[in-house]
């Protein structure tokens, strides 16, 4: 039991972070060095805490964080509660995270009622996935410690789902969840056998253990069936080590493939581009039979065809409405499926995957590059429509996980609205007002030049190709010549191979993310590209990108299990470096390119997974006052 507790404490002790509002200054660095020097003189959590009482400001906060870490490692729960109570009085502290520490300290002292009051007070405030996951786990643990197994179960399920989706590691979560399930009756388990595929996987495994408890052979068979239905489920860690992992890593064998694409209606053109990509990929695959079905067909017709064909794998549908339609009818629930879009509902099966040209992938990649470069104040320019607002909201939500500085946001309603939006964001309009005021004070001509704000360290454009070509010159003329050149970035929407043939515009210096298939220097399948351009020389950009996605969707099927069980592994495709996250979604890492001297060249930009604020240790903390 002690080893389990220590394992949990090691992780929890690494969950120290504080709020930062600006880049670390020399003063904050000096505070940090001073605090570290003092901390090295202490040999216990109590002594560090006592040192903190004689300090002020950032130096004191730094020592309190160190005392908190030490108190967790020493299991000094009353002192941990005391330290956190003092930190709670400091506005710059991550208050949600700090209150989770207090709840944890109270739970360890069997102050369960007090811990629950704190945890319940945080409902509705848990925006960061780390906050939510730990909140659900702690709430479940409080109930479980009081033998309220039924009440603890929903919180355990929510913690498991969030941890799986967001790759958050809580060492004892799965074992504690399993121990809690074993206390529930089969009747109660049946009532929990709904909701997400993660929850159903846990419940079905517990039911199998109850139903077949007296028959090792039947239990073994049931678990093997469970493993086939729930590959990659977090409950696998509680199973005895068997040879099933070797079986899980064997390549997928596909004799019969069904492809669901729009072959009628308004999206038929998109379906044609996807079909071309599928057929091109099939030339390289050993799949005996491929059947195309119009995804816009009646659900009963599709169900009948699927039942007759008995495919080993399904690719599609493309349209979200059709994914929802087949999900509601549970047509594909027991068939491995690669959907060609994202899915907003609950994942029906761990054999279901989702592949889309998701712009959020590019936003995430840009964000990780900004953090790797140390940028603190990026500025985003986006159209004032649903897509622009969605991507900005996504950037903001993710940015808050890693930095508490706020990006500058600018929405433009039209092309005519762009100049005013940019001059206002860069505060050039204020500079012009100051110049006007100075001119009124002097009769003679006054030499002047507008100045833009100096705290913006990167600009990210989320407009399309035409909008980007209008925005870039406005930025060039409005950034002060006295300031360092601000690096400009954009997504693949800014790049159009068709427009580039006649006009690259004044895009010099602009970085953007793009599919390798769309960058001549990055294409490795030269013969395939030549055949494509011979057959479809006038294809639109979206058709080219869909071709690449469909080609990768079929090519990746052979290795999908290995990728899903090893989220760090990547597949080099036409649409980017592909990996499978724990929720079954294909994530893409695109190539970086830059406009240079009216040409496009591939570039390597530093990008790395950042550490969330909630997972940073006290030694990484910077305080500004």
- How do residues 528-572 score in pLDDT, each as one tens digit? 999 999 998 888 999 999 999 999 999 999 889 888 876 668 899
Question: Is the separation of the CB atoms in 516 and 522 below 8 Å?
Answer: yes
For range 20-39, the mean pLDDT = 39
Nearest Cα residue to 279 out of 291, 269, 262, 268? 291
Would you call 317 helix, strand, or coil by DSSP?
A: coil
Residue 391 or 406, more confident: 391
| Other Cβ atoms closer than 10 A to 209 | 16
pLDDT band for position 31 (50/70/90)? very low
pLDDT band for position 56 (50/70/90)? confident
Q: Is the pLDDT of residue 244 over 60?
A: no
- How do residues 121-172 score in pLDDT, each as one tens digit? 998 888 889 999 999 999 999 999 888 999 999 999 999 999 988 888 888 8
Would you call 579 helix, strand, or coil by DSSP?
A: strand
Strand 511-514 and strand 591-596: pairing? antiparallel
Question: Is the separation of the CB atoms in 539 and 274 below 8 Å?
Answer: no
- How do residues 109-123 score in pLDDT, each as one tens digit? 989 999 999 999 998
Question: Is the separation of the CB atoms in 226 and 204 below 8 Å?
Answer: yes
For range 288-295, the mean pLDDT = 96
* Average pLDDT, rounded, for the chain: 83
Would you call 169 helix, strand, or coil by DSSP?
A: coil
Tokens of residue 212, six digits: 């077949």
Q: Is the pLDDT of residue 441 over 50?
A: no
pTM: 0.69
Q: Is the pLDDT of residue 19 over 50?
A: no
Beta bridge partners of 379: 408, 459
The H-assigned helical ranges of 249-347 are: 268-282, 299-309, 320-329
Residue 298 or 64, more confident: 298
Residue 511 or 54, more confident: 511
- How do residues 463-510 score in pLDDT, each as one tens digit? 999 999 988 888 876 654 445 678 999 999 999 988 877 666 678 899
Strand 289-294 and strand 337-339: pairing? unpaired
pLDDT band for position 18 (50/70/90)? very low
Sheet-wide strand order for 256-261: 289-294, 256-261, 313-315, 337-339, 352-354
Nearest Cα residue to 605 out of 544, 514, 526? 514
Backbone CA torsion sign across 281, 287, 288, 292: negative
- For residue 314, how many C-alpha atoms fall within 13 Å in the half-sphere facing its CB? 29
């Amino acid at each position: 039991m002690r080893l389990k507790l220590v394992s949990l404490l090691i992780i929890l002790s690494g969950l120290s972070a504080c709020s930062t509002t600006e880049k670390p200054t020399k003063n904050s660095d000096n505070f940090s060095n001073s605090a570290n020097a003092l901390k090295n003189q202490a040999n216990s959590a109590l002594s560090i805490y006592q040192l903190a009482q004689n300090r002020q400001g950032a130096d004191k906060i730094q020592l309190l964080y160190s005392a908190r870490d030490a108190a967790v490692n020493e299991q000094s729960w009353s002192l941990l509660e005391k330290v956190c109570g003092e930190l709670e009085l400091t506005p710059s502290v991550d208050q949600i995270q700090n209150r989770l520490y207090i709840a944890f300290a109270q739970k360890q002292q069997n102050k369960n009622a007090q811990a629950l009051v704190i945890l319940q007070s945080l409902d509705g405030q848990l925006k960061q996935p780390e906050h939510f996951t730990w909140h659900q786990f702690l709430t479940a643990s409080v109930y479980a410690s009081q033998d309220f197994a039924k009440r603890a179960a929903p919180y355990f399920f929510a913690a498991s789902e969030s941890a799986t989706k967001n790759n958050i590691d809580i060492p004892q979560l799965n074992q504690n969840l399993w121990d809690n399930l074993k206390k529930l009756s089969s009747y109660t388990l049946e009532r929990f056998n709904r909701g997400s595929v993660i929850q159903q996987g846990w419940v079905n495994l517990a039911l199998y253990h109850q139903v077949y408890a007296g028959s090792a052979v039947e239990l073994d068979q049931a678990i093997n069936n469970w493993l086939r239905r729930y590959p990659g489920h977090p409950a696998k860690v509680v199973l005895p080590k068997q040879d099933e992992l070797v079986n899980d890593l064997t390549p997928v064998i596909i004799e019969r493939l069904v492809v669901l694409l729009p072959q009628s209606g308004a999206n038929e053109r998109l379906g044609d581009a996807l079909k071309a990509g599928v057929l091109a990929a099939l030339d390289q695959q050993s799949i005996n039979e491929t059947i195309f079905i119009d995804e816009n067909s009646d659900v009963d017709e599709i169900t009948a065809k699927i039942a007759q064909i008995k495919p080993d794998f399904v690719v599609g549908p493309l349209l979200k409405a059709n994914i929802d339609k087949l999900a509601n009818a549970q047509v594909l629930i027991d068939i491995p499926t690669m959907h060609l879009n994202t899915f907003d509902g609950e994942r029906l099966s761990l054999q279901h995957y989702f592949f889309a040209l998701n712009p959020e992938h590019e936003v995430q990649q840009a964000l990780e590059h900004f953090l790797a470069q140390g940028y603190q104040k990026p500025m985003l320019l986006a159209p004032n429509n649903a897509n622009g607002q969605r991507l900005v909201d996504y950037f903001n939500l993710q940015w808050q996980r890693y930095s508490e500085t706020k990006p500058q946001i600018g929405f433009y309603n039209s092309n005519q609205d762009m100049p005013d939006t940019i001059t206002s964001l860069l505060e050039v309009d204020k500079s012009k007002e100051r110049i006007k005021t100075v001119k009124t004070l002097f009769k003679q001509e006054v030499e002047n030049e507008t100045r833009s704000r100096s705290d913006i360290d990167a600009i990210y454009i989320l407009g399309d190709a035409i909008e980007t070509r209008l925005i870039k010159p406005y930025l060039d003329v409005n950034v002060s010549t006295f300031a360092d050149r601000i690096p400009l970035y954009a997504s693949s929407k800014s790049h159009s191979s068709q427009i580039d043939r006649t006009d690259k515009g004044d895009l010099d210096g602009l970085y953007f993310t793009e599919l390798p298939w769309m960058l001549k220097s990055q294409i490795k399948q030269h013969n395939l590209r030549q055949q494509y351009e011979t057959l479809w020389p006038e294809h639109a950009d979206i058709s080219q990108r869909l071709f690449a996605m469909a080609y990768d969707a079929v090519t990746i099927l052979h290795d999908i299990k290995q990728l899903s069980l090893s989220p760090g592994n990547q597949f080099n495709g036409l649409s980017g470096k592909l990996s499978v996250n724990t929720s079954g979604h294909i994530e893409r890492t695109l190539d970086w390119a830059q406009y240079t001297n009216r040409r496009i060249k591939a570039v390597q930009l530093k990008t790395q997974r950042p550490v969330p604020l909630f997972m940073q240790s006290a030694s990484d903390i910077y305080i500004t006052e």
